[in-house]
Structure 1
Amino acid sequence: MEMTKRLLFLDDIRYPVEVYRYTKQDVFLRKDWHIVRNYEQFINRILEKGLPEMISFDHDLADEHYWDPNSRERVEKTGYDCAKWLVEYCMDHYLNLPKFYCHSMNPVGKENIESLLRNFNNY
């Protein structure tokens, strides 16, 4: 019988065990992570399966640059966009945020995600 994947891991390239190497957080050794690689997969997983027990966020979800130089529009969505969507989803459905962690190597992106989610939890 397959274990239900109750942990959601958002990262375009890494796997949870790789994140364990630099975070030393035992949760990354668990086998029940469901991995999503981008914004669309993140949203679809939550819409299909509901909120997980925990989400771990990466910020930078693409190798290419985030801005289209011609239109000044963002081309790829980031982990921060996923976090913003999650806050809206929880507000719209009167849900508490799941536990969260941000394993991003981007210090500014990491702080933006953590601040957004902490502020929502404190609200």
Structure 2
Amino acid sequence: MKYKLFLDDIRDVNMVYKKLTNDDFVVVRNFDDFKKVIIEKGLPELISFDNDLGLDENDQIAEDGYACAKWLVYESGLDLRNLKFNVHSANPVASQQIQGLLDNYIKHLRANN
């Protein structure tokens, strides 16, 4: 099933992509829903990452977009060679972490296959 995934705790799609809406993506607000959707639907054709995902149900800092990227790389078991993604986080350090992790892993996969 083809779909696009938008990870952000607050923003809607049209706040990041002016010509798109929430109808163009499956919108998830936290780490658990990110994993659940990918496990149920498979790898999306595009993932748009926010990093800072607010607080969890215990008012603790929630697992972030970088944790989602790490789950994809280290735990999901999915073939990420053709993953397309964008990082729309306003957090520049975390944006670089997500971008670097995924870019380097995809580059590694492509070089070894």
Which TM class, normalised by the smaller chain length? 0.7 to 0.9
**Can you give the 5+ residue segments of structure 2 that lack an aligned partner in the other structure?**
109-113
Structure 2 distance, partners of 1:34, 1:56, is: 10
Indicate yes or no: 2:22 matched with 1:50: no
Larger radius of gyration: 1
**Can you give the 5+ residue segments of structure 1 that lack an aligned partner in the other structure?**
69-74
TM-score (norm 1): 0.75
**May I ask how many residue pairs the two structures share in their alignment?**
104
- 1:5–1:34 CA contact under 8 A, matched in 2: no
Pairing partner for 2:5 from 4, 8, 13: 8
CA RMSD of aligned residues (A): 2.1
Pairing partner for 1:120 from 101, 105, 109: 105
Which runs of structure 1 show a deviation greater than 6 angstroms over 4 or more consecutive aligned residues? Answer: none
Q: CA deviation at 1:62?
A: 0.6
- 1:9–1:57 CA contact under 8 A, matched in 2: yes
Aligned to 2:17: 20
Structure 2 distance, partners of 1:97, 1:113, is: 16
Identity %: 47
- 1:7–1:52 CA contact under 8 A, matched in 2: yes
- 2:6–2:49 CA contact under 8 A, matched in 1: yes
Q: 1:57-105: per-residue Cα shift (whole Å, max 9, x none)?
A: 00000158xxx7xxxxxx4201000000011245x34443520000000
